[in-house]
Structure 1
Amino acid sequence: MTHRGYTLPISKITKEDFNPLVALALQEDLPEGDITTDSLFSDNESTTAILLSKDTGVLCGTDVIPCLIDRLGQNVTYSPFLQDGAELSQGLKIGELKGSLSSILKMERTMLNFIQYLSGIATNTAQVTKQYPNLVILDTRKTLPGYRKLAKYAVHTGGGWNHRIHLSDMAMLKDNHVAKAGSIKSAVAAVKERHPTKKVELEIDSLSQLDEAISSSPDIILLDNFSEVDTRTAISILKGKAPGIRIECSGGITPEKLSFLSQFEGIGVSMGYLTHTVRFLDISLDIQ
């Protein structure tokens, strides 16, 4: 089921989704082992370690732990106390690892990098969606290469909505596409003829394009970098002339700019901010 004209959300992720990135991360972090840990501890020393929140936010990315255990610590077990989507506060225990001290120390940094990063995205998103529940807060394709599915899952976990996942998902006509096609109408028509079952989104950057945009009947019209005055005018025209076309706004949108847009009920707002302006959430692994 899609949401308001957009794509299927990434509502679930598994350890298999982490595998390619985890393989690269471990190759990067352990090219010839861990000389510190290997010098100090034997393989048969055991410990208990607590994954602990030291911050306020939304938990995300814990399925990286069984992926790491498969690769580094078959003699390690993980018992979760909280699941992805849980609200975190300082001092809250997320889960417990038991087993080989050596294996747990070797996976610690990689594990925290994934969980802190994805929890940061989920927290970013939750803060925005809770403050502006009448807007459809959308992510973008501004994600780190290789992290697309994980980052969009984190947005969904934080209460946001996924825009197109990749270029094969739906069509999005921007100014370069329209310029080479000759006109808005010809560009929209060409995509609809070639891919009649795919949704078509059309980006415009001025009011002068609005009439032709409406007449070409895309599924979504994106108002890119419109001023507040032009945004108000465009939305009024679209709701009057084309109530079946979804409306989306974009262009350097930060949380501070959402107050104005929130007066327009139910419009989409795509925010690269959700995934490219991220602070790692403070989460630690405490060896007992």
Structure 2
Amino acid sequence: MRQSTQRMLREAGLDPAEVRRIIETALREDLGPEFRDVTSVATIPAGQTDTADVVARADGVVAGLAVAAAVFELVGVLTGDGRTVEVSLVAVDGARVARGEVLATVTGPTRLLLTAERTALNLLSRMSGVATHTRAWADELAGTKAMVLDTRKTTPGLRILEKYAVRAGGGTNKRMGLYDVAMIKDNHKFAAGGIAAAYRRVREAFPEVAVQVEVDTLAEAEEAVAAGADFLLLDNMTPATLTEVVAAVGDRAELEATGGLTLDVAAEYASTGVDYLSVGALTHSSPILDVALDLRTR
């Protein structure tokens, strides 16, 4: 992929090599072991070139334009065609776009444009859908101190892209996986013999890793803070209980409300004074933003 596209990916916090791996996997899924688009090869002369527009089919927030560009730029290499596609981005990630708006323009061998089409649109549509959903939450929380967080409930293989889309939509990433943050949940507490024991074991084994503790009651919240935790997940608590925890804990720990939250109650939960609302639905239930590729009329 082009240096400019790699730079955009890095600026978005994405590793170009990892993005390429995702694209190659997706293209292989679509093109099979021979990396072949039988319809385009059969119907389109090898020398034909065209220009096409990537167009929004609905209002929303766009995310993943550099990823889509990388698909078009890599398709010639990965299929063995050897030719290149020129990509010109019109929109920018995080922007609100309207139905009918051109997001990008691609020019090159027509076979390559159509071979890359579905993979590019699948990734762009998925990421833009996540960004659009996240923006709705961010808008709902505007004016409060609370921020919307994602979770690990992501599509296998697409986590880095979906978590980037959350950022593009105005949300915040929690942890990338089981390796960068320790999260002591109910099963860990049970297996270790309690909050204090579990917290102590994590601190001894991984002193450099941030530790978060899931709690279900005010008493557990106070126990976790006493043990040293500075980040609490307040699981399935009512707004009234959350308000009590905020008052009891104060600024000794960051507080995250979690568990079955929906947009219609977001403002009520944010008003309790918690720092975050975590929403698995950002990544596991966001509908796509419909995006299409339209060849220009000759």
- The normalised TM-score by structure 1 is 0.91
Q: Is the 8 A contact 1:221 1:248 kept in 2?
A: yes
**Could you tell me which residue of structure 1 aligns to residue 3 of structure 2?**
none
Structure number with the bigger relative contact order (C-alpha 8 A, sep ≥ 6) is 1
| Partner Cα separation in structure 1 for residue 12 and residue 257 of structure 2 | 24
The alpha-carbon deviation at position 53 of structure 1 amounts to 1.3
- 1:201-248 CA-to-partner distances (Å, cap 9, x unmatched) read 110112332332221120201110112332222222122xxx221111
CA RMSD of aligned residues (A): 1.7
Percent identity over the alignment is 33
The alpha-carbon deviation at position 11 of structure 1 amounts to 4.1
Question: Does residue 1:67 correspond to 2:70, yes or no?
Answer: yes
Select which of 140, 143, 147 maps to 2:154: 143
The alpha-carbon deviation at position 26 of structure 1 amounts to 1.3
* 3-state SS, counterpart of residue 252 of structure 2: coil
Q: Is the 8 A contact 1:15 1:64 kept in 2?
A: no
* 3-state SS, counterpart of residue 63 of structure 1: helix
- Residues 210, 19 of structure 1: CA spacing in aligned structure 2 closer, same or farther, 3 A cutoff? same
Question: Does residue 1:217 correspond to 2:228, yes or no?
Answer: yes
Q: Is the 8 A contact 1:217 1:245 kept in 2?
A: no
Give the AA of the match of 1:166. G
Give the AA of the match of 1:284. A
The alpha-carbon deviation at position 266 of structure 1 amounts to 5.2
* 3-state SS, counterpart of residue 127 of structure 1: helix
**Could you tell me which residue of structure 2 aligns to residue 256 of structure 1?**
264
Give the AA of the match of 1:215. A
| Partner Cα separation in structure 2 for residue 157 and residue 284 of structure 1 | 20
Q: Is the 8 A contact 1:132 1:258 kept in 2?
A: yes
* 3-state SS, counterpart of residue 117 of structure 2: helix
Q: Which has the larger displacement, 23-32 or 52-61?
A: 23-32
State how 1:66-145 maps to structure 2 within 5 Å: 66-73=69-76, 74-133=83-142, 134=144, 135-145=146-156
* 3-state SS, counterpart of residue 108 of structure 2: strand
The alpha-carbon deviation at position 254 of structure 1 amounts to 1.6
**Could you tell me which residue of structure 1 aligns to residue 283 of structure 2?**
275
| Partner Cα separation in structure 1 for residue 245 and residue 274 of structure 2 | 15
Structure number with higher helix proportion: 2
- 1:82-114 CA-to-partner distances (Å, cap 9, x unmatched) read 221222111211111111011101111111000
Q: Is the 8 A contact 1:14 1:63 kept in 2?
A: no
Q: Is the 8 A contact 1:121 1:155 kept in 2?
A: yes
The alpha-carbon deviation at position 183 of structure 1 amounts to 1.6
| Partner Cα separation in structure 1 for residue 84 and residue 186 of structure 2 | 55
The alpha-carbon deviation at position 14 of structure 1 amounts to 5.4
Give the AA of the match of 2:140. Q
**Could you tell me which residue of structure 1 aligns to residue 27 of structure 2?**
26
| Partner Cα separation in structure 2 for residue 266 and residue 222 of structure 1 | 10
Q: Is the 8 A contact 2:148 2:276 kept in 1?
A: yes
Give the AA of the match of 1:20. R
**Could you tell me which residue of structure 2 aligns to residue 7 of structure 1?**
none
* Runs of at least 5 residues in structure 2 that lack an aligned partner in the other structure: 1-10, 77-82
Question: Does residue 1:162 correspond to 2:173, yes or no?
Answer: yes
